[in-house]
C-alpha cells in the first residue's frame, strides 16, 4: 500500500512538467510529493534489507543526476548550437533549418574524413616508405626547382602532388610496417566504405522522415493549420516579421483562390504552351553550358601542350572559373524563366532545384568526359614511357659496366627515374582544383554585398554540388574529405555572419533540409550519379603502372582477390569461389528482386488500408456530428416540452390558488355568520382531524365541509406537480 503511494507520488513528480497548472500549484505539489517520498521511502526497507534498500535508492538518485549532467554536457558539445539558435530567433525556423542541414553534412563529412585520414593517410605517412625513397614518392628532377613555389602548390603540383594527399604517392606494397597493415586493401575498402556510408546515412534519414510524417495527409485541415500554426513565434526581426505577414496573407489568398476555383480555364492552353517554352529554354541553357565547358576543357588541354607558363592566370584556370561562373549565373536565369510557368510555389521550387541539379550534373559529366580524353592520352603516353624506361635501365646497366651474375646494386637517385604519367593523380588534382575554385567564388560573392539575395537562394544549391564533386574525386584524392570538412567549417561561420550582419530576410520561405524527403531523395540521386564515374573507372581502366597502391595489377579490384587468396584460410577462398559462381549469384539476385516486389506490394496495400481507415474515420466523425445534432435537437424539444408542462402546471396552480382563496373568503363569511349564530363551525375540527397530505388530484367540485381542506390541497398538490418537472430534468441531463 505504502509502496504504491510512493510510486504514485514519484510518477506525479515526473509528470508535473506536462500539467497545465499555474506555477505556484506546481511548486507546492512538487514539494509535498518530494517530502512524502523522502519520508516514506526509507521506511520501506525493513530490517537487514533496509541499508541495502537505502543504498540502492541513493545510487539510483546519483545515477539520475549523472544522466542529467551528461545530457547537459552533450547538448553543450553540439557545435554551433548557440549560433544556430541565435539565427533561429532572428529569422525563424526555415533559415535555421538550412544551417541545421549544413551541420548535418558537416557531421557526415567529418566521419568520412576520419575514415580516410585514419585508415589511409596516416598509415602511409607513418609506416610506409618515407618521402624520397622510391621514384613515385619523389618530385622528378625536372620539376624540383619549382616544387616549392606557392603558385605550383596552389595548383596542387610540386610537393603537394607527391604527398599522401593524392593517389600517386601510395606504394603498392602489400603489407607495410610491423603491423602488417594491408595498404592497398585498406585504400580500396575505405573508398567503397565512404560511398556505402553516405548511402546508408541518406537512406536512414529518409526512412526516419517517412516514419515521422506518416502518410503525409496534407489537405485535411488546410485552413485550420494555416490559421493556428503559420505564425513562427521565433521571429524577432521586424523585416522578417513583415515578410512573414506578407507570406501568410499570400498563402491565405492562394488557398482561398483554390477553394473558389476561380482560376480561368480558358488559359490552360496558354499555360501549357508557356511551360513547354520554358522547358525548351532551360534545355537550351543546359546544352549551351555543357558545350561551353567542353570547349574550355579542350582549350586548356591545348594550352597544357603548349606549356602553361606562356599563358595568363585566367587561361590557366579557365576551366574552373568557367564552371564556377556558370554555376552562379545559370540558376538565376532559371529563376527568371520559371516566371513563365506559373506553378504553385512549392512545385516551382522543386522544378528549380531539379534544373539546378541537372545543370551541375551536366557540367560535371561534361568535365569528366573531357577528362576521359586526357586519361586516354595519358595511357597512350604510358606505353611510350614504359618502353623508355626499359631502354633507360638498360643504358644504366651498360654504363656502370659491371657484368654477369653479381651485378652491383645500381644506385640512382629516385628523382632521376623517368616517371610514368599518373592519370589517377591527375584526376584527383582536377577535382581538388575545381572544389577550391568553387569555394573561392562562393566566398567572394558572399563578401561582395550585391549578390546577397541571390546567394541566399543559392545556399541550397552549393551544398549539393560540393557533394557531387567530392563524391566523384574522393577515390583519387584522399584529401578531398578533409578539404570538404574544412570548407564546411569555414562556410558555417561565414554564412552565419553573412545572414546575421547583412540582415537580409529571405523572400521565399522554404524549408530546406533533412526533414523533407524530396531533398533527401535528390541527395541520394546525386550520390549515386557522382559515384558512377568513379566506379566506372575502377572497373574498366587498368591502374597506372608505377603510381598508386594498385600499380601492377590488371584491375583495381584484383586486390580483393589477392587478399582472399593469401590472407584467408584456404577453405574460405573455396567457399567464396563457390559463392561468386554465377549459378549462385543469379538466383540470389532473382530472390532479392522478388523480395523487393513483395515488400513493395505489401506497403502499397498498407497505404490503401490506411486511406480506407481514414475514410472510415471521417464518415464516423460525420455520423457523430449528425447524431449529436439530432440529440441536441431532441434535447431541445424535450426542454421545450418540459417548459410547456411546467407552465401549464403553474397555471393550474394559480387557478387553484385563486379558487381556494375565493372559497376561503366564502368560508370566512360563512364561519363568521355561523358564529353569529352561536354554533362552532364543525368544519374546522373536521379539517384538523383529516390527514393533511391528500394525494388525490385536485377536485374540481367543491364540498362545503372540505373548504378548508382545499387550503391544504395546493400544498399537497404541490409536490405532485413538482414531480413531473423533476422527472423531466434528469432526462435532459442524460443527453
Partner 1 sequence: MRGNDLKQAWQRMYTMIGKEENPFRDRIVETFSEDGLGNLSFNDFVDMFSALCETSPRELKTIYAFKIYDFNRDSFICKEDLRKTLNKLTKGDLTPEEVTLVCDKSIEEADLDGDSKLSFSDFENMISKAPDFLSNFHVRI
Query: Could you say which of 48, 211, 220, 302 contacts partner 1 (CB under 8 A)?
Result: 220
Decide whether 222 or 577 has the Cβ nearer to partner 1: 222
Q: How many CA atoms lie within 13 A of 474 on its CB side?
A: 32
Q: How far is the CB of 511 from partner 1 (least distance, A)?
A: 9
**Residue 22 within binding range of partner 1, rule CB under 8 A:** yes
Question: Of 247 and 350, which has the nearer Cβ to partner 1?
Answer: 247
Task: Rule CB under 8 A: choose which of 4, 17, 73, 734 binds partner 1.
Answer: 17
Q: How many CA atoms lie within 13 A of 523 on its CB side?
A: 28
Residue 251 CB, nearest approach to partner 1 (Å): 10
Among 211, 229, 262, 733, binds partner 1 (CB under 8 A): 229
Taking every pair of Cα atoms in the chain, the longest distance, rounded to a whole number of angstroms, is: 179
- The verdict on 633 binding partner 1 (CB under 8 A) reads no
- Crossing angle of helices 183-213 and 517-540, in 10° steps, is 160
Q: Of 74, 75, 86, nearest to 493 (Cα)?
A: 86
* Residues that contact partner 1, how many (by CB under 8 A): 52
Q: How many Cβ atoms from other residues are within 10 Å of residue 300's Cβ?
A: 21
Residue 730, Cβ neighbours under 10 Å: how many? Answer: 8
CB of 241 to partner 1, least distance (A): 3
Does residue 20 bind partner 1 (CB under 8 A)?
yes
CB of 438 to partner 1, least distance (A): 32
Alpha-carbon 565 to chain mean position? 43
What whole-number distance in Å separates Cα of residue 538 and Cα of residue 559?
Answer: 12
- Of 248 and 340, which has the nearer Cβ to partner 1? 248
Member of 14, 72, 133, 230 binding partner 1 (CB under 8 A): 230
Contact 466, 437 (CB under 8 A): no
Q: How near is the Cβ of 110 to partner 1 at its closest, in Å?
A: 25
Q: What is d(CA 252, CA 247) in angstroms, rounded to the nearest whole number?
A: 9
Contacts of 641 (CB under 8 A, 6+ apart): 728
Contact flags string 244-273 toward partner 1, x per CB under 8 A: -x--xx--xx-xx--xx-------------
**Which letter does DSSP use for residue 168 in this model?**
G
Residue 127 contacts residue 177 (beta carbons within 8 Å): yes
Q: Which of 134, 147, 234, 560 binds partner 1 (CB under 8 A)?
A: 234
Q: Which is nearer to partner 1, 60 or 230 (CB)?
A: 230
Q: Which of 72, 222, 605, 654 binds partner 1 (CB under 8 A)?
A: 222
Looking at beta carbons only, is 212 or 265 nearer to partner 1? Answer: 212
Q: Is 335 in the site for partner 1 (CB under 8 A)?
A: no
- Provide the minimum distance between the beta carbon of 134 and partner 1 in the complex, in angstroms, as a whole number: 57
Length reported for the chain = 735
- State whether residue 181 is helix, strand or coil: strand
Binds partner 1 by CB under 8 A, chosen from 1, 4, 23, 406: 23
3-class SS string, 673-688:
HHHHHCCCCHHHHHHH
22/409 with CB nearer partner 1: 22
Among 284-292, 306-314, 502-510, 617-625, the segment contacting partner 1 (CB under 8 A)? 617-625
Using the minimum distance from each CB to partner 1, give the nearer residue, 121 or 512. 512
Q: What residues between 461 and 480 interact with partner 1 by CB under 8 A? A: none
Count Cβ atoms within 10 A of the Cβ of residue 435 and give its class: 0-12 exposed, 13-18 middle, 19 or more buried.
buried
**Considering the complex, what minimum distance in angstroms separates the CB of residue 236 from partner 1?**
2
Query: Closer CB to partner 1, residue 88 or residue 438?
Result: 88
Q: Which one of the spans 241-249, 411-419, 470-478, 584-592 is the region binding partner 1 (CB under 8 A)? A: 241-249
Distance between CA 364 and CA 431 in Å, rounded? 10
Pick the binder of partner 1 from 18, 47, 408, 678 (CB under 8 A): 18
Compare residues 230 and 731 and give the one whose CB is closer to partner 1: 230
734 binds partner 1, rule: CB under 8 A: no
Nearer to partner 1, 20 or 691 (CB): 20
CA distance 58 to 52: 10
**Closest CB 212 distance from partner 1, rounded Å:** 9
Burial status of residue 250 (CB atoms within 10 A of its CB: 0-12, 13-18, 19 or more): exposed
In which residue are the cell numbers 568520412 written? 112
Shortest distance in whole angstroms from residue 8 CB to partner 1? 20
Enumerate residues 178-217 that contact partner 1 by CB under 8 A: 213, 217
Beta bridge partners of 265: none
Q: Measuring CA to CA, how many Å separate 99 from each of 140, 175, 359, 410?
A: 45, 43, 24, 60
Q: Are 470 and 480 in contact (CB under 8 A)?
A: yes
Task: Determine contact, residues 323/367, Cβ cutoff 8 Å.
Answer: yes
- Of the two residues 91 and 464, which places its CB atom closer to partner 1 in the complex? 91
Nearer to partner 1, 246 or 287 (CB): 246
Report yes or no: 696 and 709 within 8 Å, Cβ to Cβ: no
Residue 652, C-alpha cell as written in the block: 393550474
Site string for partner 1, 72-111 (x = CB under 8 A): -------------x--xxx--x------------------
Q: How many CB atoms lie within 10 A of CB 524?
A: 17
- 70 binds partner 1, rule: CB under 8 A: no
Name which of 252 and 557 has its Cβ closer to partner 1. Answer: 252
CB contact set of 299 (below 8 Å; sequence gap of 6+): 315, 318
223 binds partner 1 (CB under 8 A): yes
**Rounded (5°) CA angle 456-460-461:** 105
Query: Within a 13 Å sphere around the CA of 567, how many CA atoms are in the beta-carbon half?
Result: 12
Candidates 47, 178, 211, 238; binder of partner 1 (CB under 8 A) is 238
Is residue 636 part of the contact set for partner 1 (CB under 8 A)? no
Q: Among 73, 150, 228, 571, indicate the residue that binds partner 1 (CB under 8 A).
A: 228
Q: Which stretch binds partner 1 (CB under 8 A): 273-281, 370-378, 619-627, 726-734?
A: 619-627
Q: Which residues bind partner 1 (CB under 8 A)?
A: 17-20, 22-24, 27, 85, 88-90, 93, 213, 217, 220-238, 240-241, 245, 248-249, 252-253, 255-256, 259-260, 621, 624-626, 628-629, 632
Amino acid at each position: 500500500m505504502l509502496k504504491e503511494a510512493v510510486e504514485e507520488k514519484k510518477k506525479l513528480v515526473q509528470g508535473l512538467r506536462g500539467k497545465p497548472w499555474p506555477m505556484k500549484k506546481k511548486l507546492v505539489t512538487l514539494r509535498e510529493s518530494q517530502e512524502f517520498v523522502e519520508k516514506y521511502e526509507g521506511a520501506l526497507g525493513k530490517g537487514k534489507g533496509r541499508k541495502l534498500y537505502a543504498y540502492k535508492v541513493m545510487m539510483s538518485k546519483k545515477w539520475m543526476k549523472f544522466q542529467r549532467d551528461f545530457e547537459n554536457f552533450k547538448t553543450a558539445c553540439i557545435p554551433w548550437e548557440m549560433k544556430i539558435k541565435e539565427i533561429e530567433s532572428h529569422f525563424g525556423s526555415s533559415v535555421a533549418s538550412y544551417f541545421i542541414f549544413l551541420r548535418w553534412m558537416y557531421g557526415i563529412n567529418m566521419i568520412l574524413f576520419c575514415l580516410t585520414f585514419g585508415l589511409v593517410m596516416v598509415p602511409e605517412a607513418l609506416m610506409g616508405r618515407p618521402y624520397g625513397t622510391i621514384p613515385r614518392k619523389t618530385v622528378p628532377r625536372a620539376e624540383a626547382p619549382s616544387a616549392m613555389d606557392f603558385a605550383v602548390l596552389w595548383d596542387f603540383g610540386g610537393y603537394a602532388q607527391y604527398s599522401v594527399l593524392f593517389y600517386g604517392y601510395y606504394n603498392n606494397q602489400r603489407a607495410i610496417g610491423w603491423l602488417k597493415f594491408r595498404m592497398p586493401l585498406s585504400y580500396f575498402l575505405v573508398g567503397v566504405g565512404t560511398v556505402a556510408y553516405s548511402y546508408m546515412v541518406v537512406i536512414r534519414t529518409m526512412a526516419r522522415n517517412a516514419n515521422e510524417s506518416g502518410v503525409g495527409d496534407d489537405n485535411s485541415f488546410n485552413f485550420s493549420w494555416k490559421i493556428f500554426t503559420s505564425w513562427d513565434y521565433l521571429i524577432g526581426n521586424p523585416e522578417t516579421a513583415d515578410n512573414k505577414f506578407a507570406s501568410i496573407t499570400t498563402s491565405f489568398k492562394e488557398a482561398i483562390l483554390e477553394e473558389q476555383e476561380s482560376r480561368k480555364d480558358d488559359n490552360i492552353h496558354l499555360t501549357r504552351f508557356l511551360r513547354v517554352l520554358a522547358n525548351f529554354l532551360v534545355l537550351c541553357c543546359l546544352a549551351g553550358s555543357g558545350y561551353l565547358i567542353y570547349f574550355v576543357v579542350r582549350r586548356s588541354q591545348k594550352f597544357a601542350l603548349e606549356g602553361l607558363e606562356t599563358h595568363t592566370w585566367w587561361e590557366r584556370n579557365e576551366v574552373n572559373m568557367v564552371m564556377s561562373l556558370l554555376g552562379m549565373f545559370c540558376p538565376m536565369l532559371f529563376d527568371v524563366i520559371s516566371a513563365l510557368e506559373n506553378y504553385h510555389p512549392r512545385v516551382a521550387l522543386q522544378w528549380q532545384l531539379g534544373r539546378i541539379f541537372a545543370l551541375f550534373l551536366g557540367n560535371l559529366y561534361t568535365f569528366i568526359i573531357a577528362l576521359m580524353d586526357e586519361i586516354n592520352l595519358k595511357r597512350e603516353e604510358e606505353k611510350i614511357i614504359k618502353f623508355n624506361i626499359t631502354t633507360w635501365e638498360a643504358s644504366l646497366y651498360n654504363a656502370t659496366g659491371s657484368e654477369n651474375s653479381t651485378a652491383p646494386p645500381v644506385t640512382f637517385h629516385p628523382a632521376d627515374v623517368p616517371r610514368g604519367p599518373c592519370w589517377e593523380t591527375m584526376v584527383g588534382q582536377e577535382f581538388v582544383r575545381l572544389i577550391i575554385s568553387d569555394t573561392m567564388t562562393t566566398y567572394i560573392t558572399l563578401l561582395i554585398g550585391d549578390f546577397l539575395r541571390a546567394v541566399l537562394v543559392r545556399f541550397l544549391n552549393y551544398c549539393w554540388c560540393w557533394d557531387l564533386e567530392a563524391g566523384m574525386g574522393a577515390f583519387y584524392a584522399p584529401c578531398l574529405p578533409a578539404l570538404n570538412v574544412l570548407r564546411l567549417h569555414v562556410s558555417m561561420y561565414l554564412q552565419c555572419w553573412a545572414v546575421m550582419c547583412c540582415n537580409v530576410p529571405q523572400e521565399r520561405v522554404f524549408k530546406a533540409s533533412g526533414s523533407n524527403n524530396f531533398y533527401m531523395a535528390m541527395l541520394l540521386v546525386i550520390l549515386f550519379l557522382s559515384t558512377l564515374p568513379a566506379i566506372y573507372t575502377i572497373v574498366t581502366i587498368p591502374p597506372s603502372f608505377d603510381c598508386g597502391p594498385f600499380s601492377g595489377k590488371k584491375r583495381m579490384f584484383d586486390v580483393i582477390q589477392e587478399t582472399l587468396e593469401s590472407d584467408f584460410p584456404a577453405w574460405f577462398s573455396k567457399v567464396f569461389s563457390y559463392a561468386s559462381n554465377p549459378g549462385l549469384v543469379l538466383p540470389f539476385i532473382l530472390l532479392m528482386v522478388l523480395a523487393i516486389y513483395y515488400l513493395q506490394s505489401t506497403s502499397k496495400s498498407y497505404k490503401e488500408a490506411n486511406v480506407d481507415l481514414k475514410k472510415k474515420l471521417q464518415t464516423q466523425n460525420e455520423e457523430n456530428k449528425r447524431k449529436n445534432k439530432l440529440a441536441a435537437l431532441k434535447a431541445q424539444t424535450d426542454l421545450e416540452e418540459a417548459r410547456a408542462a411546467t407552465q401549464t402546471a403553474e397555471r393550474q396552480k394559480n387557478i387553484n390558488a385563486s379558487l381556494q382563496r375565493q372559497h376561503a373568503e366564502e368560508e370566512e363569511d360563512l364561519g363568521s355568520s355561523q358564529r353569529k349564530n352561536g354554533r362552532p363551525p364543525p368544519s374546522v375540527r373536521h379539517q384538523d382531524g383529516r390527514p393533511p397530505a391528500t394525494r388525490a388530484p385536485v377536485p374540481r367540485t367543491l364540498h362545503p365541509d372540505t373548504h378548508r381542506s382545499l387550503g391544504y390541497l395546493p400544498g399537497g398538490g404541490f409536490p405532485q406537480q413538482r414531480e413531473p418537472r423533476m422527472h423531466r430534468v434528469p432526462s435532459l441531463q442524460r443527453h
